[in-house]
A = this chain, B = another copy of it.
């Protein structure tokens, strides 16, 4: 049973994911659970469970599938479910089935990253990056991880796609400015957001991990890098520079950079990152608006979080 089929009054019996869950307290002092549930098609519906026990509160976890029985109701033109029975389901759900995903294949994207690494001339740097890419966490997650929770490339494969876009621009920037160390710049692009593999998790939706909140992806990214540096015996200045590229890529302290960029390559990395992470969501927002028929009008870009103008003429 899909959520799209539910209409007010209908009896509901299905397995849904808990996308989010909150404990609320009614005016009477009784607690109830307020959840958002998701089906495999990606549609969501609100649900409430009254007369909930302490055990149930402890048992219901976001990101897990549960069997649900109840009745659909309508509130503010939105259908919701009053749940009568709620039990953990034995089913295994794969987030990759119902989250949006890149239009480019994981193989193509990781292949492009691998090609860029092979184009690095310094044997030492190439070794480090090969080790990074072979790190079990990276090998498993990079093909499917998103680059952010909502802001940009927030889809399956988004991190690899963001990285590939940046590699293509970085390649040109290194040609325009031959004084830049192309090897270092490309290494910076590959490394800069790898901490997202630990900062974010793929559950029913893209979520921050607790360690991601408490440490941040730049520190987590340096830990991944440090493993590769140790594995390849790389240290000294070049190791410090690689860490600096990761730690400074957000550009300014108030944008959460750990240090500000102090190498020409680090400055370039920051702006190449901005190009990809600011232009792409604006492109997506405008395309979605045009799809809805918007023409010749201002709109608030929901992903870019900017005012955007949708052209009247093509």
Inter-chain contacts of A23 with B (CB < 8 A): 292-294
- Interface footprint category on A: 35 or more
Contact check: which of B3, B54, B168, B298 meets A293 at CB < 8 Å? B54
- A173 interface contact, C-beta 8 A: yes
Segment among A94-102, A130-138, A143-151, A174-182 that sits at the interface with chain B: A174-182
- A14 interface contact, C-beta 8 A: no
Complex CA gap A254/B286 in Å reads 26
Inter-chain contacts of A272 with B (CB < 8 A): 275
- A13 interface contact, C-beta 8 A: no
Complex CA gap A29/B211 in Å reads 37
Complex CA gap A264/B213 in Å reads 15
Say yes or no: A298-B264 contact (C-beta < 8 A), given A237-B313, A275-B271, A275-B272: no
Task: Contact check, B177 vs A307: say whether CB atoms are below 8 A apart.
Answer: no
Complex CA gap A214/B165 in Å reads 26
- A282 interface contact, C-beta 8 A: yes
Binary B-proximity of A23-60 (CB < 8 A = 1, otherwise 0): 10101110100000000000101000000001001100
Q: In the complex this chain forms, how many copies of it are found?
A: 6
Complex CA gap A216/B256 in Å reads 13
Inter-chain contacts of A241 with B (CB < 8 A): 214, 311
**Closest residue of chain B to A309, judged by CB?**
B262
- A268 interface contact, C-beta 8 A: yes
Task: Contact check, B210 vs A309: say whether CB atoms are below 8 A apart.
Answer: yes
Complex CA gap A4/B26 in Å reads 10
Segment among A72-80, A84-92, A113-121, A186-194 that sits at the interface with chain B: A72-80
Contact check: which of B28, B165, B222, B264 meets A4 at CB < 8 Å? B28
**Closest residue of chain B to A245, judged by CB?**
B214
Complex CA gap A43/B27 in Å reads 7
Contact check: which of B268, B287, B296 meets A279 at CB < 8 Å? B268
With A215-B259, A267-B304 already in contact, 16 other A-B pairs whose C-beta atoms are closer than 8 Å: A4-B28, A27-B79, A58-B293, A165-B176, A168-B172, A173-B275, A179-B287, A210-B298, A213-B262, A213-B298, A214-B244, A215-B244, A238-B313, A262-B309, A264-B279, A271-B278
B-binding residues in A (CB < 8 A): 3-4, 23, 25, 27-29, 31, 43, 45, 54, 57-58, 75-79, 165, 168-169, 171-173, 175-177, 179-180, 208, 210-211, 213-216, 218-219, 222-223, 226, 237-238, 240-241, 243-244, 247, 253-254, 256, 258-264, 267-268, 271-272, 274-275, 278-280, 282-283, 286-287, 292-298, 304, 306-309, 311-313
Chain A to chain B contacts (Cβ below 8 Å), 26 pairs: A23-B293, A27-B43, A27-B79, A54-B293, A57-B293, A58-B295, A76-B76, A168-B176, A169-B176, A172-B172, A177-B279, A210-B297, A213-B309, A214-B241, A214-B247, A214-B259, A215-B244, A215-B259, A219-B247, A260-B307, A262-B309, A264-B279, A264-B282, A268-B275, A271-B271, A271-B275
